[in-house]
Amino acid sequence: MRSQARHATMLVGAAVVGLAVIAYAQGQPPPVQPHPHGVFGAVLDYLRRQPFILMFLVVAAGYALGEVKVKGVGMGSTAATLLLALIVSFWAFESYKIEYSLPEFTSTVFFNLFIFAIGMKVGPQFLGGIHREGKHLIILSLIVPLLSSALVYVSRYFTHLAPGLLAGILSGANTATPGFGAARAALASGSAALTGDAARDAPGNLTTSYAFLYCISMVVFTVLMSVMPKMFGRDAVADGKEMEKELMGEDSAPLPGTADSFIRGYMPLDLRVFRVENPALEGRTVADLDHAHPRVAIERVYHQGRVYNPPPDLVLNRGDEVAMLGPVSLLLAGGPHIGPEVDDSQLRNVKFDTVEFIVHNKDVIGKTLGALALRMGQGIYLNALFRAGDQLPVSRDQAINRGDVLRITGSPKRVAELRKVLGPAVKPSLSTDIITLGLGLAAGAFLGAITVPLFGIQFSLGSAVGLLIISIGLSILRTRNPAFGGPFPESARQLLEDVGLNVFIAILGLNSGAGVAHAIAGGLLGPTLIIGSIAAFVPPIIGWMVGQYIFKMNSAVLMGAIAGARCNSAGMRAAQEASKSIVPAIGYPVTFAISNLLLTFICYLFALMG
């Protein structure tokens, strides 16, 4: 454990020293440019006037850079995008006095889309994660921000911090935007113990230190999240898969409304084609054949040179071909009584649909699965049965209740027949219900905007926490009723997650170059970087040790918990990339919400101290 902690300390120390050296070198006066508006200057200035092009060039380049790995370790797309955006912004300002200012509203829109997409994915697993790790998550959400706050406060006794730096360092080191907003409100209220020049300089010091440390902390912490499990001898990928199996169950089917709900997996149905050679079938109808094979469906018939979706009264002749759909064992047993199997028949071109039915028909409610199978079970396969978001065992005696979800696979013809009894089917879709998306985003933002006065501070959840609550709730409701909220395909959700965060990160980096340059030029580099780095990286490492060695937490869940306690969405995304799993998002919401509220209160108090 000591060697692992030493490795963690060495990594953070190396990152801090490296950033200090780079920042110092960049802080030296730039050489006189003989052509200050040369080719690079012209290109950077053009990009200033075309922010859309600039933003997506940085996103594309960040994704490409994030794929580069050295000895199997890469930064990931999020850290690479932020680092690249910061370098471009800093270079443009230092060398050509070009300052980028992309609209903050655009940043907010994309970040909110990212948060909403995360909640829509993690809802069902979130409840299981809270039940399993709830107490540990709450403790971690207190340890990390309180320890960070204590380290920043103690630094007052070792160095002189200019007014505003205390709150700026704490909020920037923890990437806590609500904390920064609370500190700014405290300074604007006039309640801070500041007068004269100190009162005038405090807002600028607050903003500069926050912006500088926010970017530095975001980049380094994102990389740290990617390598943290390996530093402590854990395999995040294996742990992520283990947690997924534990929450879902080895043999459990994906819940309705989730990403994998229509992936069929093993299905004991097959389609076989037999040529009618048995003389006893000459002149018999399709209905007679159906009656002789009650659990097998006659899907298609080749009769007198034509392919039929056969009516029950179609008369069979010798030489006709019959496509039969049903359990393999019944096909193997019943087929020889019809005739030889045909391998190359055109009747084999029958597709399968997997759909979900929500039971509301009073003629079905109360019936057993066995009774329903006799009535309408020909040629269909019941993949799974769900009630109130839980999977039920499938047995002939299992009764059906109102609101149960039946996941069924069959041919389009059989599914259409089931609709007449069970009602509309929920099936895979490439479209997204924009009404639910828009209302969900608006409701989340509204919930986050509600303020509650407490000890003179206007507390609010913030849009990120509000959106997480709403989207997790929607996700959980969709497991009860997959028709709720319309289609929300996984491909669309993944696009919102990927593009949302990386556009937000690109805008953040592009808008921060000038602030970083001002921090260096204003002499805030030394105390801000040293104190901020300690406050940013020591508490998460201690929190990790507590989670791993005392709480024995799954490392994938722990990654998300630490990222949430650090209010760092990019770190959570990096944890997902490193673990190749959604599991880190299980530990993120609780610690993120509690830490945000705690840091908001402490930053407000720090601002009042001056």
Q: Three-class SS of residue 156?
A: helix
- Closest residue by Cα to residue 116 from 439, 594, 577, 571: 439
State the average pLDDT over residues 117-121.
Answer: 84
Considering only CA atoms, which of 416, 379, 385, 381 is closest in space to residue 398?
Answer: 385
Domain boundaries, the chain: 2-250+446-609, 269-348, 353-426
Kindly state the average pLDDT of the residues 97-109: 88
- Residue 15: its pLDDT value, please? 43
Cβ atoms of 59 and 502 within 8 Å: the answer is yes
Mean pLDDT computed over 416-442: 86
**Mean pLDDT of all residues in 49-60:** 93
Band of the pLDDT at 586, cuts 50, 70, 90? confident
Return the higher-pLDDT residue of 173 and 512.
Answer: 173
Tell me the pLDDT band of 456, cut-offs 50, 70 and 90.
low
Q: For residue 34, what pLDDT band results from cuts at 50, 70 and 90?
A: very low
- pLDDT beyond 70 at 251: no
Measured distance CA(554)–CA(428) in Å, rounded: 33
Q: Indicate the CATH number of 353-426 among 3.40.50.720, 3.30.70.1450, 2.30.30.60, 3.40.50.9100.
A: 3.30.70.1450
Kind plus residue range of the DSSP H or E element containing 355: strand 353-358
State residue 31's pLDDT score: 39
Q: Identify the weakest region by mean pLDDT among 144-153, 261-270, 325-334, 467-476.
A: 261-270
Q: Which pLDDT does position 123 carry in this prediction?
A: 73
- C-alpha to C-alpha distances, 403 to 369, 370, 383, 460, 482, nearest whole angstrom: 15, 19, 17, 36, 11
Burial class (CB in 10 A: 0-12, 13-18, 19+), 552: exposed
What mean pLDDT do residues 39-52 have? Answer: 89
Is the full-model pTM beyond 0.75? no
User: DSSP letters along 67-104, please?
Assistant: T-EETTEE-HHHHHHHHHHHHHHHHHHHHH-------H
Cα–Cα distances in angstroms (integers) from residue 365 to residues 373, 395, 409, in the given order: 14, 16, 20
pLDDT score for 192? 67
Confidence of residue 539 (pLDDT cuts 50, 70, 90): very high
Architecture of domain 269-348: 2-Layer Sandwich (3.30)
Answer yes or no: same fold for 269-348 and 353-426. yes
| pLDDT tens-place string over residues 209-221 | 887 788 788 888 9
pLDDT at site 5: 43
Q: Which amino acid is at 66?
A: G
CB 584 within 8 A of CB 559: yes
Q: What is the pLDDT of residue 35?
A: 45
Distances (CA, A) of 467 to 105, 111, 112, 472: 16, 10, 7, 8
Beta bridge partners of 341: 274
Q: Kindly report, residue by residue over 70-79, the tens digit of the pLDDT.
A: 766 666 787 7
Q: How many CA atoms lie within 13 A of 47 on its CB side?
A: 22
More confident residue, 549 or 527: 549
CB burial class (10 A; 0-12, 13-18, 19+) of residue 395? Answer: exposed
273: phi then psi, degrees, rounded to nearest 5: -115, 130
Strands 69-70 and 73-74: antiparallel
Q: List Cβ neighbours of 308 (8 Å cut-off, separation of 6 or more).
A: 300, 301, 302, 314
Q: How confident is the model at residue 10 (pLDDT cuts 50, 70, 90)?
A: very low
Q: Which residue has the higher pLDDT, 5 or 318?
A: 318
Residue 438 pLDDT greater than 90, yes or no? yes
With 80 as the cut, is the pLDDT of residue 253 above it?
no
Percent of the chain with pLDDT over 90: 15
Q: What is the pLDDT of residue 24?
A: 41
What is the pLDDT confidence band of residue 144, given thresholds at 50, 70 and 90? very high
Q: Which whole number is the average pLDDT over 286-312?
A: 82
Query: What share of the chain in percent tops pLDDT 70?
Result: 87
Burial grade of 472 (CB within 10 A; 0-12, 13-18, 19 or more): buried
CA angle centred on 396, ends 351 and 296, rounded to 5°: 35
The yes-or-no verdict on residue 542 having pLDDT over 90 is yes
Average pLDDT over residues 496-511: 86
